[in-house]
C-alpha cells in the first residue's frame, strides 16, 4: 500500500516519534510482498482488526497549506504512544477539504493561511478540551470506513463533530475570499493511515 497522492506529507516534526521509536518493527511480515501477496493482505487485515478493537489516544492538530495548486486542509491525529500495529503514526490524517480557484489557490488564499491556521487550531483546541483526558489526549475507538472494501478507518464518533465544524468553517472562509469562483471539495470523512 502507498500513501494516497491526494494528500501532502504534513506531519509536524514536533509530533514525530523519537528515532528509537520509529525504529520499532513497523513492517508487515509476509512470505511475499505487495498487492499480489495473499499473506501480506492477511497480515494487513489482522493489523486492521486489532486496531479496530483497541482504544487509541489522539493528539490532533490541523494544517492548512497550498499543495499541487490547491488549498488543502486536514486533521493530523498523532496517535499517542501508538501500538505497534500502527505502522506509520505520522501519516494518520483526515482530509477536511480541498479548494481550487481559477485565479490560482496560492494567489488567492496564501495571504490568509497563517490566520486561518491559527483560527482553526484554536477552534480545534476548544472543541477537543471537553473530550480530552487530563493529559490533553482524546481517547477514541476506530470505526469502519464510509465505503466498502477499504482499508481506511472511519472517523471516531468522539471526534467526528469536530471535523464537521472545522470543515464548515474553512469552506465558509474559502467562499468568502474566493467568492463564487471557489471550487470547494469536501470528501467523506475517513482516516488514512498509510
pLDDT (tens digit per residue) in 84-142: 777 788 999 999 999 999 988 999 999 999 999 999 999 999 999 999 999 999 999 99
Confidence of residue 148 (pLDDT cuts 50, 70, 90): confident
- Amino acid 191: pLDDT: 93
Give the C-alpha separation, 94 to 142, whole Å.
13
Residue 160 or 15, more confident? 160
Give the C-alpha separation, 15 to 79, whole Å.
10
Give the C-alpha separation, 172 to 170, whole Å.
5
Positive or negative, the Cα torsion across 57, 151, 144, 183? Answer: positive
pLDDT in tens, 34-87: 556 667 778 878 888 888 888 999 999 999 999 999 999 999 999 998 777 777
Residue 21 near residue 86, CB atoms below 8 Å:
no
Q: What are the sequence ranges of the domains in the chain?
A: 56-185
- Amino acid 16: pLDDT: 45
List the one residue out of 8, 9, 151, 26 whose CA is nearest residue 83. Answer: 26
List the one residue out of 83, 90, 85, 75 whose CA is nearest residue 160. Answer: 75
Amino acid at each position: 500500500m502507498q500513501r494516497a497522492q491526494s494528500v501532502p506529507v504534513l506531519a509536524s516534526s514536533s509530533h514525530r516519534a523519537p528515532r528509537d521509536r520509529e525504529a520499532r518493527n513497523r513492517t508487515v511480515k509476509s512470505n511475499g510482498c505487495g498487492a499480489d501477496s495473499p499473506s501480506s493482505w492477511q497480515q494487513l487485515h489482522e493489523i486492521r482488526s486489532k486496531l479496530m478493537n483497541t482504544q487509541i489516544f489522539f493528539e490532533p492538530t490541523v494544517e492548512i497549506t497550498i499543495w499541487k495548486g490547491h488549498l488543502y486542509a486536514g486533521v493530523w491525529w498523532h496517535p499517542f504512544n501508538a501500538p505497534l500495529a500502527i505502522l506509520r503514526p505520522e501519516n494518520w490524517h483526515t482530509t477536511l477539504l480541498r479548494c481550487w480557484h481559477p485565479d490560482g489557490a496560492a494567489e488567492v488564499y496564501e495571504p490568509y493561511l497563517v490566520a486561518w491556521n491559527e483560527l482553526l487550531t484554536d477552534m480545534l483546541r476548544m472543541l477537543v478540551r471537553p473530550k480530552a483526558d487530563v493529559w490533553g489526549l482524546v481517547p477514541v475507538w476506530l470505526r469502519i470506513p464510509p465505503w466498502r472494501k477499504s482499508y481506511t478507518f472511519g472517523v471516531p464518533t468522539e471526534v467526528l463533530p469536530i471535523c464537521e465544524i472545522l470543515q464548515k468553517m474553512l469552506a465558509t472562509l474559502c467562499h468568502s475570499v474566493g467568492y463564487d469562483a471557489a471550487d470547494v471539495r469536501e470528501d467523506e470523512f475517513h482516516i488514512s493511515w498509510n
